[in-house]
Amino acid sequence: MMKLTRFVLSRSGSKSTPMKSRTRWFSTYSPNPNGYGSSSSVLYADYTIFKGKAALSISPILPTFAKTLSGALKVDKKGSILLKFSPAIGERKYDYEKKQCFALSATELGSLISLAPAKSCEFFHDPSMKTSNAGQVRKSLSVSPLSEDGYFFTLTVVNSLLKTNERFTVPVTKAEFTVMQTSFSFMLPYIMGWHQLSSQSSGSNLAKRTDVSLSPNLEWDR
Amino acid sequence: MMKLTRFVLSRSGSKSTPMKSRTRWFSTYSPNPNGYGSSSSVLYADYTIFKGKAALSISPILPTFAKTLSGALKVDKKGSILLKFSPAIGERKYDYEKKQCFALSATELGSLISLAPAKSCEFFHDPSMKTSNAGQVRKSLSVSPLSEDGYFFTLTVVNSLLKTNERFTVPVTKAEFTVMQTSFSFMLPYIMGWHQLSSQSSGSNLAKRTDVSLSPNLEWDR
Amino acid sequence: MMKLTRFVLSRSGSKSTPMKSRTRWFSTYSPNPNGYGSSSSVLYADYTIFKGKAALSISPILPTFAKTLSGALKVDKKGSILLKFSPAIGERKYDYEKKQCFALSATELGSLISLAPAKSCEFFHDPSMKTSNAGQVRKSLSVSPLSEDGYFFTLTVVNSLLKTNERFTVPVTKAEFTVMQTSFSFMLPYIMGWHQLSSQSSGSNLAKRTDVSLSPNLEWDR
Amino acid sequence: MMKLTRFVLSRSGSKSTPMKSRTRWFSTYSPNPNGYGSSSSVLYADYTIFKGKAALSISPILPTFAKTLSGALKVDKKGSILLKFSPAIGERKYDYEKKQCFALSATELGSLISLAPAKSCEFFHDPSMKTSNAGQVRKSLSVSPLSEDGYFFTLTVVNSLLKTNERFTVPVTKAEFTVMQTSFSFMLPYIMGWHQLSSQSSGSNLAKRTDVSLSPNLEWDR
């Protein structure tokens, strides 16, 4: 999250508390000449589950888009749902400086959304994948069944460089897991970038009759 | 709901009937110079279930946001779904002056959305929690199974100050409960404040290429 | 639908084909001075199921809102999902002049959304309910199981004035019923008027810090 | 997809890689005088599943709208979800020039959304249906169960003109299928054109009290 943090700080100069999720936000009310929102900011809207040994804070991260030379728009960075685990350091007190993050991809969200009761799943990430640091840090998120349709969310971070091995476990109730599944389902299309399509569509598609044909021609492309 | 009521009255001077839900509404068509909707109002869009002994009226309450010194946006007050119970005082007549409210949090909505047939759940609220009046009023909402996949919604309000003990029971059919579950699922992300993200996202995120990286960097924050 | 038709004709002078659903549509791009969309139109976006004996055409109808004296907004007419049955008069030809309509309320949508396989439900409407013509026309929509998780949609219209008794039956496949359930779930909050809240919310709620308090105060209203 | 491609090229002159989905995108920020988005572009936001023998890329296509003489809006071309299969030509390399497409209609999406575990379904398309070339190309998409709640997506394209018979098979995990089901459910109302209604609705419907009546009158139209 370094880059994002730096970016945010450079814009807001905030000593933003690490706990909060940082996401770029644009006002739709004061668009700048180039036609896009100009005033940007950071939005804090985490859903946090406070438990005895750790807190699990959840927030979405939208994809970013870039313009191609041809003027087309393409997803530049895919979106994700960020899980942040912070250790407890007393009653209802958590050390957010020591938090560890795990960003869920669309497909990982798919397996959580469809996770059947009493089933479990596990994801493995290497934050430095495909870089010279590959393998130095290994993260795994395991979701295993808890009584009454709840789940244990356990994040393990092994850093071979710092010789550290951290482990966070947060028991998630069925109600809390349902909040996750419902909000993940809501966010999935946004994370995929499909919201651009839908949010643009109102009114737009009748600007002129485009030659987008139904299946016959769409499929007749060779 | 006092503060809100006062706020509303001060703006509209309305002797608004207590029954209706009061929610601030802004026009997106006449933004004022500061870039936000200027004309605000109250929206009445309750979903009401009228039964023999009481009426149950349901309406969403959006979160409010505040700007931090650093210019960041944060959820100031979380949203909720407000349940209002009003006693019947005759055929199809209800005394809305005597209504009692219960505001469901995101997690409480999660347990209703995922409530299995024939299962029940119960929530306890102390309206004055963490104030000097703590414990004076105790509210509990119990949702217990009714024949044919329906549920009894029972609100109990014990006021040790006024020495009152009120009890409202509304039988909710499977169809009515499905309306609740569907609309609660729709509203959940809004109540969490995540809609800000999604509703801002159209077009905005391509304003400039931000350095939001996918999981590798996002997770590489220590 | 008379009034609406008249309204539409007066605006567009169209001899609009009865088949199409008529819904007011506003451009968000050319708002008039009073702050609301000025150019209105009619939107035809039916989902139609063509079968041997009849065609079933489905389209949503949004609620309308009115301003109270106090300046508050309230749902004036509730929304609905309109089902239109038209008899077949040859191969793939239907007589839309002879169509009969049935408007599903939020709660009726709830029972269809939650209709379990092999279960059935039935709704009864009196178009002239609470008028001097009450009882002259009786409509009933029955949804009964069909093989392979499909359903028969049967509309019966008995008009004691015209001494007519019409009956339309359309077999709906599981796939078609799923399209209904998915689109009904999507539309339900809009039909309830809750979309006003959500669609207004972006940016709006941070215009100024309103005194909407969380459950404690919200519930502390007596 | 020819027409669309040609259209796109003519606008952007891009040698756009065939892999990407091309969908018209409009900026809502720089509407042109006629009240609709003027700057249009192409959006690349595919959800792609890369497997050993082929890649399956998925993207939505919105409906287009046309104005009738009476000034009404009607869906001109229905929307769809486009599936693109591209053969593998090495490790993690795919030949997008050789891709074959299959556009799913609303009802076909309905059968995928409701596809039960261990069940299968199959769709047949003739890209030249109702043209002089009818029958020359036959496409079939078969979705059959895979271990652990996954599915095999198999596209077969038989071209009697080119004497070719192509077959693409992509194993889809339960997680990936859930991403499909969730995003298909999200997109369905947009593909049907109902989003126009909902996205227009904010604020619009209170512009003036329209005479849209509830069921009684709506149903009383003959």
Mutate which: C1, C176, C182, C184, vs D, most D CBs within 10 A: C182
Minimum-distance CB partner of A36 among B63, B67, B206: B206
C68/C190: higher pLDDT: C190
Q: Cβ of C212 and B66 within 8 Å?
A: no
- Give me the pLDDT at residue A13, please: 30
Q: Which residues of A touch B191 (CB under 8 A)?
A: none
How much is the pLDDT for C63? 92
Average pLDDT of every residue of chain D: 76
Task: Output the tens digit of pLDDT for each of chain A's 222 residues.
Answer: 222 222 222 222 333 333 333 333 322 222 222 323 323 457 889 999 999 999 999 999 999 989 888 888 889 999 999 999 999 999 889 999 999 999 999 999 999 999 998 999 999 999 888 888 889 999 999 999 998 789 999 999 999 999 999 999 999 999 999 999 999 999 999 999 998 776 544 443 433 333 222 233 344 433
* C31, C210, C219 member nearest B7 (Cβ): C210
Q: Do D178 and A111 touch (CB under 8 A)?
A: yes
Return the pLDDT at A41. Answer: 53
Residues B2-13, mean pLDDT to the nearest whole number = 25
Q: What is the ipTM of this complex?
A: 0.76
Q: Could D211 and C73 be called an inter-chain contact, meaning their C-beta atoms sit closer than 8 Å?
A: no
Give the range with max mean pLDDT: B27-36, B178-187, D15-24, D71-80. Answer: B178-187
Residue B211 pLDDT > 60 = no
Residue A99 with chain B: CB contacts under 8 Å:
222
- Higher-confidence position of B198 and B117: B117
pLDDT tier at C108, thresholds 50, 70, 90:
very high
> Which among A111, A122, A197 is the top mutation candidate for probing chain D, defined by the most D β-carbons within 10 Å of its own β-carbon?
A197
Q: Which residue of chain B comes nearest to A190, CA vs CA?
A: B198
Question: C130-134, D27-31, D159-163: which has the minimum mean pLDDT?
Answer: D27-31
Which of A19-28, B33-42, B103-112, D26-35 has maximum average pLDDT? B103-112
Give the one of B28, B202, B203 whose C-beta lies nearest to D203's C-beta: B28
Nearest CA in chain D to A213: D77
Identify whether the C-beta of residue B149 lies closer than 8 Å to the C-beta of residue C115: no
Name chain D contacts of A31, Cβ cutoff 8 Å.
Answer: 29
Whether C69 and B14 lie within 8 Å, measured CB to CB: yes
The mean pLDDT of B19-29, rounded to a whole number, is 31
CB contact under 8 A, D218 and C26: no
d(CA C191, CA C81): 8
Strand-pair category, B73-77 with A40-44? parallel
Cβ neighbours of B128 (radius 10 Å): 18
pLDDT at B13: 30
Cα C107 to Cα C115: distance, rounded to the nearest angstrom: 12
Mean pLDDT of the region C78-106 = 96
CA–CA distance, C93 with D129 (Å, rounded to integer)? 19
In angstroms, the separation between the Cα of residue C64 and the nearest Cα of chain D is: 5
CA-to-CA separations, A1 to A7, A20, B61, B222, in angstroms, rounded:
10, 12, 32, 9
Q: Which domains does chain C possess? A: 24-28+44-208 (2.30.31.10)
| CB atoms inside a 10 Å sphere around CB C2 | 13
Tell me if A210 and D63 make a contact (CB, 8 A cut-off).
no
Q: Which chains touch C (3+ CB pairs under 8 A)?
A: A, B, D
Mutation to test the B interface, candidates A1, A48, A185, most B Cβ within 10 Å = A1
pLDDT at C27: 24
% of chain B exceeding 90 in pLDDT = 55
| Candidates A27, A44, A63; nearest CB to B35 | A27
| CA nearest neighbour of A99 among A163, A45, A64, A48 | A48
Mean pLDDT computed over C187-199: 84
According to the model, what pLDDT value does residue A197 have? 73
Out of A13, A77, A183, the one facing B189 most closely (by C-beta) is A183
Contacts 24+ apart (CB under 8 A), C117-120: C117/C145, C117/C149, C118/C145, C118/C149, C119/C145, C120/C144, C120/C145, C120/C151
Integer angstrom CA distances of residue B55 from B48, B98, B165, C199: 7, 11, 18, 28
pLDDT of D154 reads 98
Min Cα–Cα distance to chain A from D209, Å: 22
- Residue C44 is given by DSSP the state E
pLDDT-based confidence at D133, cuts 50/70/90? confident
C195 against D36, higher pLDDT: C195
For residue B112, is pLDDT > 60? yes
Specify the pLDDT at position C119: 94
D40/D22 Cα distance (integer angstroms): 12
Candidates D62, D209, D218: best to mutate against C (most CBs of C within 10 A) is: D218
Task: Name the residue among D67, D206, D214 with its Cβ closest to that of C80.
Answer: D214
Chain C residues close to D114, C-beta within 8 Å: 149, 174-175, 177-178
Q: Which residue of D has its CA nearest to A193?
A: D45
Question: Nearest Cβ partner of A203 from C27, C202, C203?
Answer: C27
Residue with the larger pLDDT of the pair C15 and C137: C137
Q: Is A205 close to D65, i.e. CB distance below 8 A?
A: yes
Q: pLDDT by residue (tens digit) across B93-105?
A: 999 999 999 999 9
pLDDT of residue D131: 87
* pLDDT, tens digit, 9 for 90 and up, residues B118-136: 999 999 999 888 888 889 9
- Residue B159 pLDDT: 95
Q: Report the pLDDT value the prediction gives residue A120, as an integer from 0 to 100.
A: 96
Q: What angle do CA D20, D26, D28 make, to 5 degrees?
A: 140
Residue A23 is predicted with a pLDDT of 39
CA C207 vs CA B23, B35, D189, D203: distances in Å: 14, 8, 31, 17
Look at residue D206 and tell me whether its pLDDT is greater than 80. Answer: no
Tell me: the pLDDT tens digits for C200-210?
Answer: 444 434 333 33
Task: Kindly report, residue by residue over B126-164, the tens digit of the pLDDT.
Answer: 988 888 888 999 999 999 999 878 999 999 999 999 999
Which carries the bigger pLDDT value, residue C148 or residue C193?
C193
Between the CA of residue D190 and those of D78, D96, D105, D164, what are the distances in Å? 10, 27, 12, 35
Which residues of chain A does D12 touch, with a Cβ-Cβ cutoff of 8 Å? 70-72
Chain A residues lying within 8 Å of B35, measured CB to CB: 27, 29-30, 39
Query: CA of C108, closest CA in chain B: separation in Å?
Result: 7
